[in-house]
Structure 1
Amino acid sequence: MCDPSLSQCLIGIVDDERAVRRGLSNLLKSAGYKTECFASGEALLECGQRADIDILILDIKLGGLDGFEIQSRLAASGLFVPVIFVSSYGDESVRKRAMGAGAAAFRSKPIDVDALLGDIEAVLEARRNR
């Protein structure tokens, strides 16, 4: 687990849109975080147990397994990483499903970067207070 006071957390980004992955990665790196990007949920799962990922930004609608299935498979493998779901299909039912699945946060695309950074800080603050 990362030291939240140092902001050297590894944030995984799973999105099938290259521009989204690159943009989020650049934003988070400029804020002092480390990132690792995956073009699909399958690419993330192929890496095996990734206990080094502290927070996962996970698109819901992907070109293979969807974000909910990825989160479920990670949990079934014993890896419980805080997930911030993102989606272009951000209607209320999708948001409710994401939050009901245990997401730390849900953001609609285009992503409000200040809100996303606030979500990340909230996850880190919760860890700090545990």
Structure 2
Amino acid sequence: MAKKSLIAIVDDDESIRVSTANLIRAFGFAARGFASAEEFLQSPELGETSCVISDVQMPGIDGLELQSRLASTHRRTPVIFITAFPDLRIQERAIAGGAICFLKKPFDGKTLIQCVDRALNRSNS
């Protein structure tokens, strides 16, 4: 049996982490929530993660810094951003840094899953 792709959800809002993880699991992926970028970067799942769904604004390391740190690794894990505070300049930086999608909270579940599919297809090519 093929191993499920692990999707990491990095958001300081617990309700977002739980609901997003439940949505991801409902579509057959493995999901793990992290309350901060620091927690994710120090986790054993870091090397196994196929895609990251991250909030933009978080205490400590924010989403853009997380994206930058992931981009500096050899794995180049795809990132999808979710935010309650969309800002065009931040969106442009995220996309320029290789973000797959930049979604405003509350986001449509179907759209998020399409972004995950795009991220996984890109990382497998």
TM-score between both structures, scaled by the size of structure 2 = 0.89
Which residue of structure 2 lines up, in the alignment, with residue 43 of structure 1?
39
TM-score between both structures, scaled by the size of structure 1 = 0.86
Output the amino acid matched with 1:54.
S
Where has structure 1 moved over 6 Å in runs of 4 or more? Answer: none
- Alignment: residue pair count: 125
Output the amino acid matched with 2:65.
E
Q: CA contact under 8 A between 1:7 and 1:32: conserved in structure 2? A: no
Which residue of structure 2 lines up, in the alignment, with residue 93 of structure 1?
89
Output the aligned Cα RMSD. 2.0
In the TM superposition, residue 91 of structure 1 has moved relative to its aligned partner by 2.6
Which residue of structure 1 lines up, in the alignment, with residue 99 of structure 2?
103
In the TM superposition, residue 63 of structure 1 has moved relative to its aligned partner by 1.4
* 13-22 or 56-65, larger mean C-alpha shift: 56-65
User: How high is the sequence identity, in percent, across the aligned residues?
Assistant: 33
Which residue of structure 2 lines up, in the alignment, with residue 62 of structure 1?
58
Distance between the aligned counterparts of 1:61 and 1:10, measured in 2?
A: 23
Output the amino acid matched with 1:30.
A
Which residue of structure 2 lines up, in the alignment, with residue 3 of structure 1?
none
Distance between the aligned counterparts of 2:75 and 2:120, measured in 1?
A: 17
Q: CA contact under 8 A between 1:7 and 1:33: conserved in structure 2? A: no
Distance between the aligned counterparts of 1:118 and 1:75, measured in 2?
A: 22
Provide structure 2 residue ranges, at least 5 long, that are not aligned to the other structure. none
In the TM superposition, residue 108 of structure 1 has moved relative to its aligned partner by 0.9
* 73-82 or 30-39, larger mean C-alpha shift: 73-82
